[in-house]
Amino acid sequence: MYAVISTGGKQYRVSPGDLVDVEKLDGERGQEVVFDQVLLLKEGEGIKVGNPVLEGVRVKGVVVRTAKARKVVVFKYKRRKGFKRLRGHRQWFTTVRISEILAQ
């Protein structure tokens, strides 16, 4: 059994027990989160596809941690002009352990 959820402008394929890194969510460590934007659900041999989301289907998970990702270096350079700019960015993310997929 798996589902495709949408959160933070991205889509993730999740199954019970998976660890998923998603865009930062508000929530403390150990707190339960519910994803209600489920786009696709596969149970056994049957597949349900939403238009755009499935009604009555939710995915529950538990916040494992919130941290910053590895640094992304943004380097701009123009040859022969003496122009160089170096910037770095570290994006916040939340790791969620998927506990169950609830389908009605």
Residue 55 to residue 38: CA distance in whole angstroms: 8
Over residues 77-99, the mean pLDDT reads 98
Predicted local confidence at residue 56, as pLDDT: 94
Over residues 67-94, the mean pLDDT reads 98
Residue 25 to residue 93: CA distance in whole angstroms: 8
Total domains in the fold of the chain = 1
Q: What is the per-residue pLDDT across 48-58, written as a single tens digit (0 to 9) for each?
A: 999 999 999 99
Kindly report the average pLDDT of the chain as a whole number: 96
Domain span including residue 49: 2-102
Predicted local confidence at residue 104, as pLDDT: 80
- 8 within 8 A of 37, measured Cβ to Cβ: no
Largest CA-CA distance found in the chain, in angstroms, rounded: 64
Over residues 77-95, the mean pLDDT reads 98
pTM of the model: 0.86
Which residue's entry shows tokens 């040859």?
A: 79
CA nearest to 62, candidates 17, 104, 23, 93? 17
Q: Which pLDDT band holds residue 82 (cuts at 50, 70, 90)? A: very high
